[in-house]
Structure 1
Amino acid sequence: IPLDAPARQAGGVLRSPRAVNPKVSQTVSDAVMAGLEMDYRKRPQSVEDFLSLLEAKKKPAVTVSTPEVALPGFEFGKKIREDFIISVYEVRKAGKSYHLITFKPPLDWKTKKLLLEIVGKLERIDHPNLVSLIDVYQQVDNVFLIYEEVSGMSLRERFKLLAPLNPSIAVDTAIAIGEALSALHKAGLAHGDLHPGNVVVTPGAHIKVLNAGILIPFQDYIKQGNLNFLMMRAPYAAPEIARGFPQSPQTDIYSLGVILFEALTGWLPFEGQDPMAIAVKQNKEPPLSPGKINPKIPRALEGVVLKALQKDLDKRYSTIKEVLTDLEEIKYALHYGYSLNWSPLDPKR
């Protein structure tokens, strides 16, 4: 080791192994550079983290050429949509159509590691109300997700055309979304980005929930999003998110409460000119009463909405199972004409 090594470590520029020896793979070179990071906060935090960077990929690596994405055996169609973080493409393989999601920000090792952990859990979930994750490909700074193709109208579009919905239809919609959330929560995941744009109603009137869990690793990056991106999500984000709390099953329950509120009234419980104004209202003001906007809403159903929207986590539903239990009871009562003059907020409930 040269005698001036400490000085060079403190102020010099470190060359990557690949720059010195082109035979070194990019994966190994990146792992070594991460381990030699001067800022300890950016360095792998454990031996396991470092070794995970060196492990051989279980899936074939792919390359990206902007704006085209090359995947072995896939034929690319049109770009379906694009936002601040993801791009979605139509792709075909062996005569079948799929949707491909790619991530726009280059993934650092920590973000990629968390994303792959989430994706690993998603691959093991099979639920009719969740869009199925078919396959995963990765490269050094990106991950590519192949999903089943889903067509239909987003809940956002449906609300614009039809809200307020009949209470029975609104309850059925909330139950379908809740069952998808239940599958996620049982797998140890939160959705983390639940809003009407991420729920599709198929031509057969079946509910499909999209993009479960995949934006959770990007929470800090999301704050830098453009106004349209943030305004689409702010009304559905739980108030504790603005206070720095992580996404959780209870934040999903809050988001479901907002969706049900909108389905029943055509309104949002909190509105504002920008995300900050909405967050302030969410944390300081009580929500509008759904029953005052739409008197046709049964008292029990209004109570479910208001309990899901509680700011105090101890007063909000603690599990999606509790929400589904109340919604199923309301569905049964609506079908058979039983009384709904009760509320989950009643002291004796």
Structure 2
Amino acid sequence: MADEFIGKTIGGYEVQRVIGRGGMATVYLARQQSMNRQVALKVLPQQFANDDTYLQRFEREVAIVSKLEHRNIIPVYDYGEHEGMPYIVMRYMPAGSVDDLLLDGPMPPEQVLNIVAQVAPALDYAHTKDVLHRDFKPSNVLLDDDGGAFITDFGIARLAGEGVSAITTQGVVGTPSYMSPEQAQGKPLDGRSDVYALGVMIFEMITGRRPFESETPYSIAVMQVTTPPPRPTSINPAVSSVVEKVILKSLSKKADDRYDTAVQLYEALRMAVEHPEKALDTEPNLPMMHPSQGPPIGQSIQQPYQPHQQGPLSLPMGNTPGQYPVAQSSGSMAQVPSGRMARLKQRRKSNPLMSVFMGGAIGCGLLAALVALGAIALLLFITTNDGIGANPTQEALIGANITASAPVTAEPLPTLNATERAAQQTLEARDADNQATLTADARLAALTPTSTESIFAPVGVRGTPTLRPALTGVTGTIIFADRRGEDEQSFEIVSLNLENWIETQLTNDPSDNTFPQASPNGLWIAYQSDADGDNDIFVVNRAGGQRQRITNNSYTDYLAAWSPDGEWILYSSDVRGDGLYDLYRTRFDGTETELVFSNRQRNSHARYSPDGRYIVFTTGPASLDASTWEIALLDTETNEVQMLTNNNVRDGSPVFRPDGEQIMYISYNGVNNAIYVMDVDGTNARLLYDSAGSDWAANYSPDGQYIVFSSNVTGDDQLFLMLADGSNVQQITSTGGGYASWIPPRSE
């Protein structure tokens, strides 16, 4: 794409070429004419020049970095404005970033130690100035030709003691793969949050992959809070046990259990690498390095560690829970076109100056949920999107066969002991008493992003969107998950009418409610909720009433989907508690729970074909190694499974096109997600859309003409519309949103 600034002079800087581009800034290589030296010129895009939120982030980076004088923090040389667009001038780093080094896989411990020796004092120095980075990661550690490592991108940094609102109206910010548990939960932060991010980076440099990987940013953030990190030795056996011990301590869920400072982490790592016999004795009193001390120079890169190969697939259909008979698999495997393989194996040039925003308070306890339920004992009168008033306790509310009496739930698959079962029944009875008269607070509020010719809508600025001409034919209502609330935020299910831009909140409770899917008749919405500490499947009507609990057990059920006839709800379940999900289905009322598929691997995001014969899903042998995840197709009549993708990158979130002729899915190239399509046999795979950010959770409109998806190209996750061919992309939300899909037209 041609760039209007190349060859021009901006404030005495001659623009030569683009070296990085993101949703919030473009970075150019430029020559400073007065000193005849190369610099990095960071320019805020025109569409954000009049948005106070983006201007605040841009100016904040200048203000914070200007007060940080450290040899391993990239300095700002200049700040100015050109034709209404602000720019920052920084030192040019010719050797890329640590993220580029990771292209070759795990790094030798000595090289890791060299990098940490440089950035750890710089982090601690920033903390002594009351500055928290909040987005520390490999792409924000840049390198020079002499092996020097430098921290950059303080665009979302925060001064200690400031409230979150001082930075953004969006709540939690940062990159989910590197954010600490307390940051993912929106809690107060101190320097130990950056220490956690440094621990994640060390884990990645040592093993060649991140500790937590999943299909969505939200899922990764949840794992940061709830899932123990894998042992580095389980990924790279060359890692010593003493180095592993240091890394795992840095990744402790509780800040009090981590190292107090980044330099303490460095000293422990240095002891483990250079004197492992002493590190085995006991944890020493760690000597302190002054934050201003200089580090040594680095060395070469090691070849990547090769993961194990994927095992065979097996398939039971209609078996009782707990049984895992081996079913036959198709003899042929559809190969991915070589052109696509080449593209996916080559990581996109990392953009060290783009911060990824991820919002949401994660995890609310059962006690809070019960208190909220106990406080609500009155019947609310709600209004549907069509403006029809109804009583949510009557079957006639939306013409479906669910009563307002106590919900019928699926029998838990594992056997509970008497005490556990009694407690569970007590809680369920209490929940049923409340749910008999409870409806969600279906509040109506106008969604008002700013009218704009750009595909982006500025953050925090509201106005009804004026769609591009090609998109004006879009109709219907979409549902999605978004974080709501004031002091204590949680994810809630929200609907958005694309014709009048009226937004309706369908759930309203302290738990996180996510991943909604509407029934084929458009009357019901299934979703997952962590109301009791693990995720279970729930259903509400399209106006937010008649909440019904479909699964009720002590393990995780998630990613619900409907069969085409609306009789079954398909979902993934971690019955064994090993992070390797099996596919189950249950009747709409929670009865007749059946095991659909198990191969003792991670199986998720299952979706029926329009005719109901096939199920497409994500499968892979490792719960945390996303590079093993592929797309598979199950024939429900023959019980055969065919692999549709076969590569070394993460493929996931498959959905059928409404005519059943194509499958759309998300593929991850090591830096960002992009949207792909392929024929139902796995052939003709091709890129549909790939922004400078991460694009995910794509779904077709009922007529197949449009696609709604999430992207963080503007900094945080927002919803976008585009035509089914990947053209005419436009942002449609400004306050956040993820995992959107259409509610089909209503049918009785």
How high is the TM-score relative to the length of structure 2? 0.33
Measure the CA separation in 2 of the matches of 1:219 and 1:342: 46
The correspondence for 1:215, drawn from 156, 161, 165, is 156
Q: Does 1:128 align with 2:71?
A: yes
Task: Map Cα deviations across residues 103-153 of structure 1 (whole Å, 9 max, x no partner).
Answer: 333365576457545523412333232222112225897642110111113
Q: For residues 240 and 329 of structure 1, do their structure 2 counterparts lie closer, same or farther at Cα, with a shift above 3 Å needed?
A: same
Q: Are 1:262 and 2:204 an aligned pair?
A: yes
Deviations 1:165-193 (A, max 9, x none): 22222222222221221222222212222
How far, CA to CA, are the matches of 1:134 and 1:77 in structure 2? 18
- Return the offset for 1:287: 0.4
Deviations 1:197-223 (A, max 9, x none): 122333322212221x21347655698
Provide the residue aligned with 1:155 in structure 2: 98
Structure 1 unaligned residues grouped into runs of 5+: 1-65, 225-229
Q: Which residue of 2 aligns with 1:90?
A: 29
Equivalent-residue separation in structure 1 for 2:181 and 2:112 (angstroms): 23
Counterpart contact for 1:115–1:214, Cα < 8 Å: yes
| Percent identity for Structure 1 against Structure 2 | 23
Given that 1:76 and 1:89 are in contact with CA atoms closer than 8 Å, whether structure 2 keeps it comes out as yes
- Deviation at residue 317 of structure 1 after TM alignment: 2.3
Taking the aligned partners of 1:322 and 1:339, their CA distance within structure 2 comes to 16
CA contact (8 A) 1:102 1:144 kept: yes
Give the secondary-structure state (helix, strand or coil) at the position aligned to 2:263: helix
Q: Which residue type is aligned with residue 159 of structure 1?
A: L
**Alpha carbons of structure 1 residues 108 and 235: separation in structure 2 relative to 1, 3 Å:** same
Task: Check whether the contact 1:175–1:327 (CA below 8 A) recurs between aligned residues.
Answer: no
Aligned match of 2:19: 80
**Residue number in structure 2 paired with 1:325:** 267
Q: Is the 8 A contact 2:120 2:266 kept in 1?
A: yes
Q: CA deviation at 1:272?
A: 0.1
Give yes or no for contact 1:309–1:316 (8 Å, CA) kept in 2.
yes
Q: Distance in 1 between matches of 2:137 and 2:269?
A: 19
Q: Shift of the alpha carbon at 1:343? A: 6.4
Q: Distance in 2 between matches of 1:315 and 1:111?
A: 36
C-alpha spacing 1:113/1:157, structure 2 compared with 1 (3 Å):
closer
Unaligned runs of 5+ in 2: 158-165, 286-748
Amino acid across the alignment from 1:100: L
Once the two structures are superposed, what CA deviation does each residue of 1:224-275 show, in whole Å capped at 9, x if it has no partner?
9xxxxx8xx3211222222123664222111111110011111211110110
Match of 2:89 in 1: 146
Bigger Rg, which one: 2
CA distance in 2, matches of 1:103, 1:291: 43
Q: How far apart, in 2, do the equivalents of 1:344 and 1:246 lie?
A: 28
TM-score norm. by structure 1 comes to 0.67
Number of the residue aligned with 2:111: 169
- SS of residue matched to 1:330: helix
User: How many aligned positions are there?
Assistant: 269
Q: Which has the higher strand share?
A: 2
Alignment check: 8 A CA contact 1:304 1:344 kept: no
Cα distance change of structure 1 residues 106 and 223 upon mapping to structure 2, 3 Å threshold: farther
For 2:41, the equivalent position in structure 1 comes to 100
| Residue number in structure 1 paired with 2:521 | none
Contact 1:154–1:196 (8 Å) recurs in 2: yes
- In structure 1, distance between residues paired with 2:118 and 2:63: 24
Does the residue aligned with 1:341 lie in a helix, a strand or coil?
helix
| Cross-structure match for 1:296 | 238
* Per-residue Cα deviation, 1:289-340 (whole angstroms, up to 9, x for no partner): 1133333323332222112211112212232232233234335426xxx433
CA distance in 2 between partners of 1:290 and 1:333 (Å)? 19
Distance 2:235 2:11 in 1: 53
| Paired residue type of 1:305 | I
Q: Conserved in 2, the CA contact under 8 Å of 1:303 and 1:345? A: no
SS in 2 for 1:314: helix
Alpha-carbon spacing, 1:248–1:138, altered in 2? closer, same or farther (3 Å):
farther
Given that 2:142 and 2:149 are in contact with CA atoms closer than 8 Å, whether structure 1 keeps it comes out as: yes
